[in-house]
Every structure is written in structure tokens, then in C-alpha cells.
Amino acid sequence: MKKIILTCGLSPGDIVMLTGAVRELHRCHPGEFITDVRTPCPALWEQNPYITRLAEDDAGVEVEECHYPLIHVCNQAPYHFIHGFTQFFNERLGTKIQPALFKGDIHLSEEEQSWFSQVHELVGREIPFWIIVAGGKQT
């Protein structure tokens, strides 16, 4: 099995898509990779079943800085964001990933799943709600 540490210093939304690409890597190539990550958002990887702690100096470990060059044709080609990272994996790792799910892959602990939402805490019952963040990156 190939041991690889994936690094990415991009924003949280980009890292969420990287979680989905890692899921797709393991779905399409089961048992071929042992993966770990180094990103600015370690909480997004907690409970993730596809992550195994690796050290950079472990024998056979490769470190790969992740990018999504497909972004440069985003207005000309009909691709989802997840294709950017999976295409990068295909080119750099020699994989043949075809994404099946077009979403990130965030895992919650049993404790986190048992929590009431903050809306429930405020109004005393479960009601559907959306969180909208209108802003983002600073340049």
C-alpha cells in the first residue's frame, strides 16, 4: 500500500471538497493507499475513516501538496468542484477516480450526533434552518 500525506493550505471550503476527493480515492482504489492530511482545518478530518496518522519521516511516506488545476477552465467545462481534486489525484497518483458523490465527507462522533442544534436550544424544538455565509476569503 502506498503511504501518502496530502497537504493543502487552502480555505475551509476547499478542504471540504478535499475530504470528498479522499473518500473517492479510497472508494475507487480500496486497499491501495494509506492517507493522512495536513491542512489548516484539522477538525474537518476528525472521525474520518480514511485517515491514518503518518509521520513525514516514516519509511515509504510520500508528501503531496494538493491543487485543483481544473479551476482554470471552470467557466468552459461542465465539472463539479470535486473533479478538480480527483483529476489532480489521477494525474499525480496514477489513479482512475470517477467521483460518485458530489459532496464533502465530514464525519461526526456519536457525541456530536447526539447534540441538539443551537436553533433547538433557542426555541425548544427541532425546526429546519439554513445557515448562509455571504462573505469569505480575504485577499
CA distance 6 to 39: 8
Residue spans per domain, the chain = 2-93
- All residues at 6 or more sequence positions from 61 whose CB lies less than 8 Å from its CB, including other chains: 3, 4, 5, 54, 55
Consecutive 10-residue averages of pLDDT for the chain (139 residues): 97 94 98 98 97 95 94 82 93 96 95 89 90 72
Please report the pLDDT score of residue 116 as a whole number: 83
CA distance 24 to 96: 10
Please report the pLDDT score of residue 139 as a whole number: 58
Please report the pLDDT score of residue 73 as a whole number: 80
Please report the pLDDT score of residue 117 as a whole number: 87
Give the predicted TM-score (pTM) of the model. 0.86
Please report the pLDDT score of residue 78 as a whole number: 85
